[in-house]
Structure formats: C-alpha cells, structure tokens
Amino acid sequence: MTPLSPDEVRVGPPLALAAAITFDQTTLDVLGDASSWPDSDFQIKIEDELILVGTRSDNTFSDLTRGHEGTDDTHHGKNVEVAYVKSGVELADAGPGGSFDGGTVHHTITIDPDGSDEPALKIGESTEPPDDGASAQLFTDPGDGKLKVKLPDNSVAEVGGGGSMPYQAFANGIFKDYAIPDGASAALLDPTAQAWLSDHEYSVGELQLGLTGVPSYVHPSSSDAVKFKSIKPQHGLTGTDEPEWVLDGSPFGDGELVWGAYTAAPFIAAGWQADHLFEQCVIVADGIVFIGSGGTSGSEEPDWSTAPDYNDTVVDNEITWQHQGPVSVWSAETEFRFNIKQDNSDYYSDWVLPTVDNGNAFSLISINRRYVSAGETEPEWDDVAPGDGTYWTDGEVCWEEATSDSEVLVLTGIEAPSSAALLTVVNAAPPGSSVTLMLEDQAEVDSDYGADVESDEGNRFNAGDENIEVDACKQISVAYANGQWQPLGTT
C-alpha cells in the first residue's frame, strides 16, 4: 500500500484493479463497490501514480488522464489498491498491517471495562459513553472517510470532537513523525495484531544496508490465539548490472537483494571428486550448496537426492555433506528467494555464484522490499500452537509464529501543528489486552530499530529521561507549545 501524501485524503471504501493495466491505458475496471464514488471528474491513486477519472459507469472508470501532477504513468498489476484521493487535510493511511476498510468495524471496544465512575476510555468530546460495561463499535464512515463510533443505541458520533480523524492499526511497530491534521483533537492508535487479509500489503522487518523494517503482526482469520510476524519478503530481483562481489562477508546490495560471501569454509569450484581429501568446505552438487565436514570422499558420487531439504545430510565415506539451499549463476533481474522447510521448522536462503568464478559462493541475507502482498489463500496455520516457532510462506510474505503476551507500539513523534495544540492520544487496543503504546522521548530510538526511525526534533516528546507507557484503553494528553510536544498526563 502506498502511503498518501500530506495533501491527500482517502475517502470511500477501498477498491482494487480487476485486471492489470498498461502505462497508456485510459479505461480500467475495479473490484469492490464503487457505487458511492463520484460519477465524473475525480482523482484516484494507484501505487505512486495519480490519475484523473473523466467518467465512471458502475465499476468502469473511463477517460483517464494518466500521470497526473508529474507522477509516472506506469503498469499496475491485478488486485493493486485503487484509492480515491482529494485535496484537503490528511487522513492518515492505515499503514502496512493495518485496516482502513470503509464502513467495516475495526474491533469492539468496551467503554468502561472496570465499572468505575469514570470511563477508562473516552472517545472524543462529542461522544457520551454508554452505560457501564457496554460496548461500542469503531468504524470508518465510507461516506466522509471519518472515524466514528457506533453506540449500543445505534447512535453514531464522530471521534475526536468532530475534526478529521486519522486512525492507524499496526501491531508491534513504530510510528515516526505521525501526521495529525490541524484541528484534530484525538488520535487513536491500535497496536494489536489484525486478522489476516488476502492480497493485503504488509510491511516486513529485518531489512539491511541502512534500511529499517517494521514488522506486521497478524492472527489467523479463525482465531486470535496465535500471532505471526512478517520477517522477510519471500522473493526479490537482482539488479540490471552484476554487483561488485564483496569477499569479506560484509553485506552488499544487488537490486532488491542483499548478499554475503560465505567465509566460514572455502568454496571448491571443482565440486565433488572421488577419493579426494576435502577439508571442511562448500561445494555445489545437483544445483544445491552442500557444506562438507571434511575427510576423504568415497569412490562413487553420493546420491544427493537423498538430502532434499535444508539441513538434510548425505554420508560420503568419511564426509557428511549438509544441504544449505539452491544455487544458480547470477543473471540480471532474476528472482531469488527465501524458502521454508517442508515441516515449517525453519527458513533458508537461495545462493548465487558470480558469472566469473572468484572462489566464493554467496548466500542471500535479506531482501530490501518494505511492503509485500499476502496471497489469495490463507496459509494452513489454524492448527499452529502458541510458541511453536514455525515459518510460513504467503504470497510475497514470510511469516514466523511469534505469539506474545504483550505487544508494543512505539510513537517516536507527532508532526508539529501550525500553532499551539492540545491532543489526546488513545491506546485503542481492546480492553484486557497487554498492549502498550510507548511515547519515545529520547533523541535516539532503541538500536534494534535503527537511527532512521528517529522523528524530527520538533516532533518529539520532551518528558525527561523515561519513555511514557500508555496501557490498553488508556489515553494521554499532549500539548504542543514552544516547539515541542509536552505530555500532560495519562488517564
């Protein structure tokens, strides 16, 4: 999902391309319900391209002006999101891993979970909380794109005192320089894992070369008892030119890929040889990288097919060879991937060889794609138990089972308003969950996340030496004055 820029707003229910379109195509069809969209003269955004739509007839958009406002008119694939945008204050994009479906209920929140006189969660000035213990439904109005709450008596009120209301749902992530439109009085953030969605774009963790990825967390659509973290894109492409191969093991880039030379043992380009004394080494056999323990090989070549999966072994006289993953010679714009073991117990990478032998083999370390799409069909993970640590492929995503009793969302800063402002920041996680919203007040965020997630200085919180933690169904008031956000207190 491509985030909207500060001068755009997402309205109406989301749609998707019914079929791929070429760069010069002037008609397109969409999937979903477009009946609430304008009949003519409106603007859409597909990935990074802005398009003016001349006319709409049901789900067919015609008379398209491609590449509006200097954006690139380009090819877009089937099922890519079609966003309706207009000039105005920003309604923050749901963000990878989130949910921003017009008219759909995000989750049910209990207004007064502990039965106290004062509700633990107050949803904006315009909303009177229902009776103790009652529930309300949080949803995005497809008509105007605003976040609203539907109370048990079926009355509906806007969240945030009537102002434009950004809402993001993102598990265990970081929000950097979170954008709040001027005039908004509240921001609801939900760090809880969301139900898996088909063809949905998710962000991933474990990026390299100065890039920081924020993982998405999901749970199976059938149950929220087990959670999965997006750890890697499943595949990516090499560059157009062969990289300069770095031989000391340091990671280096190649298109979307990051490679590293294997330095723990020498690479034997000649491969397997009969009755040969091998030191511990790496060879290629039947398109697979094998690491050998060292010793004298047998007189006949082993049957490599008896080790079909990662870490499977083949005994060869005195040597034990261990399967490490598939390998091929480098070529331009070629796909390499991470693979999952047949029993889902581990993942492993593809390997590559230079077009001219330099005495090394290189393993795939990471793939620098921040956002990747889930598949059309949900993985068969309904029987996974919490804590089993299994791995799953799903479209372009590699998931790891990562169930935890607690979840944390780090808010490094809020975009500075144009004048003094008072804002209520709410941890909108469901009641009873061990979910923390952390307001980071230091210049540097935990090194696990990397320096590039630091917010701009004027957007940070200035509250002393400790971060501020906001529990589920709690809120904190922050004021912007003298060029800094100052937390006022948690309720």
Query: What pLDDT sits at residue 97?
Result: 26
Query: What pLDDT sits at residue 268?
Result: 93
Query: What pLDDT sits at residue 171?
Result: 45
Cα separation, 273 vs 345, in Å, equals 32
- Model-level pTM? 0.55
Q: Which residues of 314-332 are buried (b: 16+ CB within 10 A; e: fewer)?
A: bebeebbbebbbbbeebee
Residue found by looking up tokens 């990935």 in the block: 47
pLDDT tens, per residue, the chain with 491 residues = 233 332 333 334 457 888 989 888 999 999 877 776 778 877 888 888 888 889 999 899 999 999 887 888 888 888 887 877 643 222 222 222 222 222 222 333 333 333 333 332 222 222 333 333 334 444 545 555 555 555 444 555 554 433 333 333 444 456 677 766 555 666 767 666 777 888 877 767 655 665 545 567 788 988 888 989 888 899 999 999 999 999 999 999 999 999 999 998 999 999 999 999 999 999 999 999 999 999 999 999 999 999 999 999 999 999 999 999 999 999 999 999 999 999 999 999 999 999 999 999 999 998 888 778 899 999 999 999 998 999 999 999 999 998 876 667 778 788 888 777 777 777 766 656 677 787 876 655 554 545 556 778 888 887 655 678 888 767 777 888 778 888 776 55
**C-alpha to C-alpha distances, 289 to 115, 224, 238, 250, 410, nearest whole angstrom:** 62, 39, 19, 20, 41
Q: How far apart are the first and last CA of the chain?
A: 34
The token duo for 130 is 């229902």
CA nearest neighbour of 198 among 19, 451, 396: 396
Query: What pLDDT sits at residue 144?
Result: 57
Cα separation, 283 vs 63, in Å, equals 58
Per the CB < 8 A criterion, the answer to whether 326 and 288 are in contact is yes
CB atoms within 10 A of CB 257: 29
Cα separation, 230 vs 221, in Å, equals 16
Could you say which DSSP state residue 483 is in? T
DSSP sequence for 23-38: TT---EEEES--TTS-
The token duo for 274 is 């009969």
Query: What pLDDT sits at residue 37?
Result: 73
Write the class of the CATH domain 8-87: mainly beta
Which residues fall within 8 angstroms of residue 19, CB to CB, at 6 or more apart? 28, 29, 78
Q: Which residue type occupies 263?
A: T
The token duo for 374 is 């889930």
Cα separation, 229 vs 171, in Å, equals 9
Q: Where are the domains of the chain?
A: 8-87, 105-194+406-490, 260-357
CA nearest neighbour of 14 among 104, 105, 137: 104
What percentage of the chain's residues is helix, strand, coil (to nearest 5)? 0, 40, 55
Query: What pLDDT sits at residue 186?
Result: 67
